[in-house]
Each structure stands twice: as C-alpha cells, then as structure tokens.
Amino acid sequence: MTRTNKLFGEINVGDAAAITRLVTPEDLYVFAHVSGNLNPSNLPTAGAAGGGAAEAASAPSMWVGSLFSAVLGNLLPGPGTVYLSQTLRFHDRARVGDSLNVGVRVARLIAPRTVVLDTRIERAGQVIADGVAEVLAPTERHAADDASLPGLTVVRHRHMERLLAACAHVDPMPTAVVAPEEENALLGALAGAREKLIVPILIGDAAKIRAVAEAHGADLIGVAIVDLPSHDAAAARAVEMVNEGAVSAVMKGHLHTDALLRHVVKTQGGLRTTRRISHVFVMDAPSLTDLLLVTDAAINIAPTLEEKVDIVQNAIDLGIALGIPRPRVGVLSAIETVNPKIQSTLDAAALSKMSERDQIRGGIVDGPLAMDNAISLTAARTKGLRSLVAGRADVLVVPNLESGNILAKELTYAAQAEGAGIVLGAKVPVLLTSRADDEGSRLFSCAVAVLYAHWLASGKSMVPPVIRADEAAERMREVE
C-alpha cells in the first residue's frame, strides 16, 4: 500500500486519522527487550504452563503511548513528520487480546509548519489513553510504500502453552517413570506432577533417585519409589505395571531407548497391539504458525511400505487428539515427483492412494513432497503443486530414521523448537524423550501423552480446534 503525506498547507483543523491495533504477547516481549522494562505484570510468562498468563498481562503504558507514532508517521501528516512533544494520560490498562483504536485529530496549526493534534486510544469506546501531540509537518512530498522490515521471530512456544492449558480438565495420569536417576529425568517427572499432568511412580535405583533429589532441592514426599537398581529390571517392572492396570503411561528416564523398548515390544507380556509402534516428535517452532509432527525419528530404522501405513495412521490419530480435526500428512522425499529409482517416492505415492481409498483414515495424505514444498505455500505454488497438503502439512513422514532424527534436531537447535516425544501403537502412550531433554520438553511430552490417552479412552479431543493461518486467510478472502 502506498501512502502520500500531507504538507503543512494541505492540513486543516479537524483532519483526523486512525488505525486499529491488536495487542499480542509478542508486542510485550519485544518491548521488554527494547526498553529493558522487565516488570513481571507486563510479561505473559509467569504461570504459562497453566495457560491464561498471556491474557492476564497488561501492556506497558509507554508501549500503548508509542502507538500514536504509527498514525502520525504513516498517515497524518505522514512520512517526513518530526515529533516535537507528546503529553499522555492513562485511564485504564490495555491487555493482550484487546483491539485498540488509535486516533489523532488536528487541533491547531502554527505557522510555519507546527501541527498540534489531540490523540486518543480507545477500546470498545472506552478511553485507554489520551493526550496532545506536537509535530513538524513534512516539507517535501513523500509517497512511501509499506516498509518491508527485516523478519523478527519471538521465541515463544504458544502451542505448548495451549496444550498444557488443555490438560487442566483431565485427571493426572498414573505414570511409571523408568530410571529417573539424573537431573532432567527426575525434575521433568516431578514438574509433570506439580502441574497435575501425571502421578509419577519412580522405578529405579532408589539411592540414586534420592541423591539427585537432594542435590537439586526436590521434594519426594508422597512420591512412590520402586527400588530396582537394574535398568532392565526397572523397564520390565514398568511394563508389568501397565498390564496390571496400575499405570496408564510409561515415561523414559535416564536409560537407553532400546533398554526400555525391548520390554515394550516383547511378544509375551509386552505392550504390543495389532499396530506397529512408532515415534512422533511434536514440534512447536516459533517460526511456524502451527504444530508440526515428525515421524518416525527414533524407532523404525528403514520402514517398509506396510510399516509406513501404521506410522502414518499413528501420527494422524495423535494429530486428532491434539485438536487437528483432519491432519494433513506430507510424505517426504528428495523430490515431489515419482521416480522409480527412489523408493521413498514410490512409498509416498502408494500411501497417498491408500488414504484416498480409506486404507488410512482420518487425515489427508499426499506425497512425495520435498521439505520446502511440504511446509511452504510459496514453494509449493512456485513449483505448481495443486494439493490440500503441500505448503501446509501438519505431519511430516520421513523416509527413514536418519532423516527424521536429523530433521527433528534441526528444528530443535536451529529453529528453537520445543519438542515432545511419544511412542504410539502400544497399549498406552510411552513418553520417549531424549536423555538430553530439559524439564520443559519433558513437561510438553507429559501434556501430549495425557491428551492422547484421553482421546484413546473417550474418542474426544480436549484441545479446542485452531483455525490455521491459511484457513484464516481464505476466510478473509471470502468475506472480502
């Protein structure tokens, strides 16, 4: 959009201009970084795990006052305006989610180029702030397009917060925590208990568990401990407790994945179902508008087409449990066309057709897709792809374990994603986090497991569906 400024001789008393601005959590974070104002009442962080924290935070008053500069510098008088002074009086606090009307009106003109304007910010007709601005009108004509600013990403895991909030109405899940003999493993399990997501039963070397707790000031009062120094014995006991009905989930602590899964998948006394087990990383990346599920990056090394059917179905089920009504599944390869020499493209094409024939249910499957055109609408359109999945995939199905593991770690360390890890296809969810995962990641995994277990038991998702960014844009086009 091109905006043309007004010179002093073109401005009249009574001229007015206004914009509408929605207050977002990102506004508050950016202002805190720029200003150095770390007043906790202005930061939507405290208690974020329980949800609602962003709604309680009020916008700093000086951030609210700064909105007048957008009207003065862009609209009236417009580009080239120089601020001289601004008085401000605040009558109420703006909060995250408020829609603010920011307006100015010319009150006086003082030659040769001073313009005095009444300034006012309202929310639904209620005055939030008002004052008087004095500016110098531009002396030269400027026709300016909307500025293309460098990108700015606020590292905030809003989807993780949303899923944690959705667990508020679900009972804590009894969970066998295997070998929580290290700081992150133990504190992550105790954090899940503190947030009322799980009721942990700690299985492992009791002396080591208590030593870790003491070293980090963690309280184990009321927490059950099953003393089994051997990791193998601890994993076996966790699986037994599932079969006895004593726990509803298993959580990996500080032990190797294969040491735990060996007991999960064993034919006699394990947790097998008719479906192949697979792992899903649920990734909340600040640079992406929606949750992204990556599978399989931890269990199936080089899955066959038959195994990929279960991998896809497991991921679709999890997506539905997490509030995605009809997950869009992109089956990845190096290219987006079928090449008989590249097995992953053949598998992708077969999976897409199987979805069309209801051999895979509940989602929309398409492939092969390259990584760029799976998550970028621009890339998909540039390559002329016509697909309900291309550019907007909720689930990425990788060709093999190596590529999936690399992708998940790239998202974690290069895109600042927070990730939850869960194993599906067993009798109960298995929280399969990395031994390097911190407390936040383990808490995220607890929330995902709780929501999935509730969906398995009830067939209903506890997560309110979110209108995805591309769907919102489409609805706006329809309105226009």
Q: What does the pLDDT look like over 160-194, one tens digit per residue? A: 888 998 998 899 999 999 999 999 899 999 999 99
- Residue 312, classed as helix, strand or coil, is helix
Retrieve residue 258's tokens.
């294969």
User: 2-143 in CATH: which number?
Assistant: 3.10.129.10
Confidence of residue 51 (pLDDT cuts 50, 70, 90): very low
- Tens-digit pLDDT profile for residues 100-127: 999 999 999 999 999 999 999 999 999 9
User: 158-176+184-197+273-327+394-471: what fold?
Assistant: Isopropylmalate Dehydrogenase (3.40.718)
The residue among 88 and 156 whose pLDDT is bigger is: 88
Cα(449)–Cα(470) distance, rounded to whole angstroms?
Answer: 28
Q: What share of the chain is helix, strand, coil (3-state, %, to 5)?
A: 35, 25, 40
State the pLDDT at residue 471.
Answer: 56
State the pLDDT at residue 435.
Answer: 64
Cα(239)–Cα(176) distance, rounded to whole angstroms?
Answer: 8
Return residue ranges of the chain for CATH 3.10.129.10: 2-143
Amino acid found at 87: T
CA dist list (Å): 335 to 125, 312, 328, 347, 371: 54, 19, 18, 13, 9
* Placement of tokens 């006699």 in the chain: 268
Q: Does 13 score more than 90 pLDDT?
A: yes
Q: Which residues of 418-446 are buried (b: 16+ CB within 10 A; e: fewer)?
A: bbbbbbbbbbbbbbbbbeebbbbbbbbbb
* Placement of tokens 């070293």 in the chain: 215
Helix segments in 230-292, DSSP class H = 231-243, 257-264
Length of the chain as a residue count: 480
State the pLDDT at residue 469.
Answer: 52
Question: How many Cβ atoms are within 10 Å of 453's Cβ, its own excluded?
Answer: 18
State the pLDDT at residue 85.
Answer: 97
Q: Does 25 score more than 90 pLDDT?
A: no
- Tens-digit pLDDT profile for residues 434-452: 766 777 788 899 999 999 9
Confidence of residue 467 (pLDDT cuts 50, 70, 90): low
Nearest to 380 by CA among 395, 367, 397: 367
State the pLDDT at residue 287.
Answer: 81
Q: Does 479 score more than 50 pLDDT?
A: no
> Are residues 124 and 94 in contact, defined by beta-carbon separation less than 8 angstroms?
no
Q: Does 476 score more than 70 pLDDT?
A: no
Cα(76)–Cα(11) distance, rounded to whole angstroms?
Answer: 9
> Are residues 246 and 425 in contact, defined by beta-carbon separation less than 8 angstroms?
no
Cα(457)–Cα(419) distance, rounded to whole angstroms?
Answer: 24
* Placement of tokens 């401000």 in the chain: 88
Question: How many Cβ atoms are within 10 Å of 99's Cβ, its own excluded?
Answer: 12
Cα(94)–Cα(23) distance, rounded to whole angstroms?
Answer: 8
Retrieve residue 227's tokens.
């003393």
- Tens-digit pLDDT profile for residues 257-272: 999 999 999 989 999 9
Q: What is the mean pLDDT of residues 226-236?
A: 96
Return residue ranges of the chain for CATH 3.40.718.10: 158-176+184-197+273-327+394-471
Q: Does 27 score more than 60 pLDDT?
A: yes
Confidence of residue 54 (pLDDT cuts 50, 70, 90): very low
Q: At what angle do helices 183-194 and 439-458 cross, to 10 degrees?
A: 50
Q: Give me the chain's average pLDDT, please.
A: 90
What dihedral do alpha carbons 253, 256, 260, 262 form, nearest 10°? 180
> Are residues 287 and 313 in contact, defined by beta-carbon separation less than 8 angstroms?
no
Q: At what angle do helices 343-356 and 305-321 cross, to 10 degrees?
A: 50
State the pLDDT at residue 241.
Answer: 97
